[in-house]
A and B are shown apart, each in its own frame.
Chain A
Amino acid sequence: MNIAVCIKQTPDTAIRVKVADDGKSIVQDGIQWVINPYDEFAVEEALQLTEKHGGEVTIVSLGPAGIEKTIREALAMGAHKAIRIDADHIPDDPSVTAKALVEVLKNGNYDLIFLGRQAVDDDHHQMASLVSQALGLPCVTVVVKLEIDGGKGTALREVEGGYEKVAFALPAVIGANRHLNTPRYRSLKGIMQAKKKTIEVLPATLAAPKLVVEKLTPPPAKKEGKIFKNGAADAAEVARLLRDEAKVI
C-alpha cells in the first residue's frame, strides 16, 4: 500500500501559551514542539497497514525548515520518507494549507491518506474534510477503528451518542481519532535510521486566506473560588451555595 500521512508540528499540550506582541500569534520562545498528538495515531495506523500489506508510508508536512525535526520524529516511528512543503509560516486558515497539501498529494497515487482529527493548536478540525473534498475522495473523520480489505474499507467513526460504521472504497482519506491505536515509541534504532531518511522539499504557493485571525486573547480571568478545608463538614455549605448563589439546583 502506498500511504501518505499529513502531520503538523504543534506545541506540547502541557505548555502554557502566551500571546505575542502582535496580538495575533503566540510567543514561540521556550515552546517544546511535538507531532500533533492526533497525527501520531495517523502515523501508527499507516505503519501497521504497511507492516501487514507491504508498501510505503510518506510523511507530508507544510512549514519552514524548522519543522524537519518533527518530521524526523515520524520517520523515527518507521515512516519511510517525507515531503516538506516549504513555506515560511504555517497558515492560520486551514483552507490555505489544504490547497498546498492537495497540490502535492494529487501526484502521489496514494491508496490512503491519513490525517489527525484536528491539530491541538488552532483546533480547526477541518483538514481531512477539506483535503478529501478537493481530491474528490471518500473520507471518514474521527475514526476509532479501521478495517481495510482489498480495495474496500470500513471505519468506525465516533459521534456524540454513539458510533457510525461507514463503508467506502479506496483510495480514501481518514481522519484519525484517539483510541484508533497506541502509537509506538521511537526506538534508538529508529531514531538513528531516521537521520538517513530523505526529506524531499517542494515549493508551496500559499493562497490568500479566507479565514482571518483578528486577535488572540487569554480567556477572561476567573474570580477566585471559595475553597473550604473541613472535608465532609463543608458539604452542606457548598450545596447551599450551589442553590442560593450559583442557582444551579
Chain B
Amino acid sequence: MATILVVSEVQDGKMKSVSTEVFTAAVKMAGETGNSVTALFVGNGLDGLADSAGKFGVADVVLAEGTSLAKFSPDAYAAAIAEVAKQKDAAVILMSATYTGKDLLARTAQILDTGLAQDCISYRAEGGKLYFTRPVYAGKLLAEVRVDAAPVMATFRPKSFKPAESPVAVKAEKLSLDLPAPKAVLEEMQLSGGGKMDVTEADMIVSGGRGMKGPENWGILEELAEVLGAATGCSRPVSDDGWRPHEEHIGQTGRTVSPTLYVACGISGAIQHLAGMSSSKFIVAINKDEEAPIFKAADYGIVGDVFEVLPALTAEIRKLKQD
C-alpha cells in the first residue's frame, strides 16, 4: 500500500498547530484513495512529538535524524523529506502552506522531479486522480490543478481544514539519514514580541486601516481583539506608514488570511486588501463611507464613525459573552 507522507512543521522544538489540519486532511484523503498515512518529523531529538500525530489519527510516524539535521537547514531538510519519500514509496506528499512548508516542498519537488500544487484550499479525489483548488491572483480567481507526475505534492493553506482528533496508538520508526552537508543554516530564531499569534493562524482577526487615523488609536481595536481572542491585522498603508508592524499587513503583497471572523475597521477595501481576506468565513465592516468597497465583501456592515461604532460593538459583544 502506498502512503501519503505528511511533513510536520516544527518550530523551536514544538509542532506547529497547522500541521494537525494537514493530518486531518491526509486521513480523509487516505480513506478516499486507499492509501495509508505516514507522518514525518525531520530533526534530531523529536521523539516526544510522535504522539501528536497519533492524536489526529496517524499511527505511522517516521522520525528522520542525521548529523546534517542538527540545525534547521532548508536544503538539508528538503533532502531528508525526499529521501524518506523514496524509502517509503510515497504516492502523495503534503505539508502546511506556511513560508517554510512552501519552501521545503518546492525544493523536494525539484529533487524528486515532480510537480507541486502550492497553497491549496481544498482537494477532491476522482477517478484515481487528485484535483486541488488553489487561489490565484491573490484569490481573485480559483485554479483547479492536477499534478501529472509522481509523487503528487501539495501544500494546504492554514485554516482550510478543521483538525479532528481521533486518537490511535503510534508506531514510531527512527531513520538515520546520511545526507550532504547543509548549505544554508539557521543561526537564530527570533520570535515575535510576546509570542503573539500570527494572523495566518488566527481564527479571528480585528483589522484596522487609514480610517483609524493614527497608531495611537489602536487601543479600541485591541480591546475588541481581546474580547474575541482575536489577532490584530492592518491594511497596507497602515504598515507602510509604520503605524503597525509589517507582519500584520493583510493583502495581496502581505499575508493572505482565511479566519472564521474578520472585522475591518476603517478599511475602505482596496482590491489588493480584499484579495488578502475575502476568503474569511464572516466579514464585519465598519466604515463612515457607505460607498466603501469593503461593504460589498461584508456579511455585516455598520456605516458610521469607527470611534463610536467600534467601542459600542466591543461593549455589546462583551455583554453577550457574559450571558
Interface residues of A (CB under 8 A from B): 11, 13-17, 19, 26, 37-38, 93-95, 98, 120-126, 129-130, 132-134, 137-142, 154, 156-169, 172, 178-179, 209-219, 222, 225-232, 234-236, 238-243, 246, 248-249
Option from A98, A126, A156 in Cβ contact (under 8 Å) with B102: A126
Known: A178-B253, A214-B131, A249-B228. A231 touches B303 (CB 8 A): yes
Cα-based distance from A179 to B248 in the complex (angstroms): 13
**Contact present for B302 and A228 (CB under 8 Å):** yes
Can you name 23 A-B pairs with beta carbons within 8 Å? Answer: A125-B102, A132-B75, A141-B74, A142-B103, A154-B187, A159-B99, A160-B198, A161-B198, A169-B183, A210-B115, A211-B146, A216-B142, A217-B144, A218-B140, A218-B142, A227-B303, A229-B304, A235-B309, A238-B300, A239-B313, A246-B261, A248-B204, A248-B282
State the majority secondary structure of interface residues on B.
mixed
A-B contact count, CB below 8 Å?
A: 282
Tell me how far the C-beta of A174 lies from the nearest C-beta in chain B, rounded to whole angstroms: 10
Cα-based distance from A213 to B145 in the complex (angstroms): 4
Q: Does B168 lie at the interface of the complex (its beta carbon under 8 Å from any beta carbon of A)?
A: no
Interface residues of B (CB under 8 A from A): 11, 16, 72, 74-75, 78, 98-100, 102-103, 106-107, 109-111, 113-119, 131, 134-149, 158, 183-192, 195-198, 200-201, 204, 228, 246-247, 249, 252-254, 260-261, 270-272, 275, 278-279, 281-285, 290, 295-305, 308-309, 311-313, 315-317, 319-321
Known: A130-B107, A209-B115. A246 touches B282 (CB 8 A): yes
Tell me how far the C-beta of A91 lies from the nearest C-beta in chain B, rounded to whole angstroms: 11
- Point out which of A154, A178, A232 has the most chain B C-beta atoms below 10 A from its C-beta: A232
Option from B99, B134, B253, B317 in Cβ contact (under 8 Å) with A13: B253
Cα-based distance from A114 to B311 in the complex (angstroms): 46
Q: Besides A125-B106, A159-B100, 16 other CB < 8 A contacts?
A: A14-B270, A15-B271, A26-B141, A120-B253, A132-B75, A134-B110, A141-B99, A142-B103, A169-B183, A211-B115, A212-B115, A219-B140, A227-B295, A234-B309, A238-B284, A239-B319
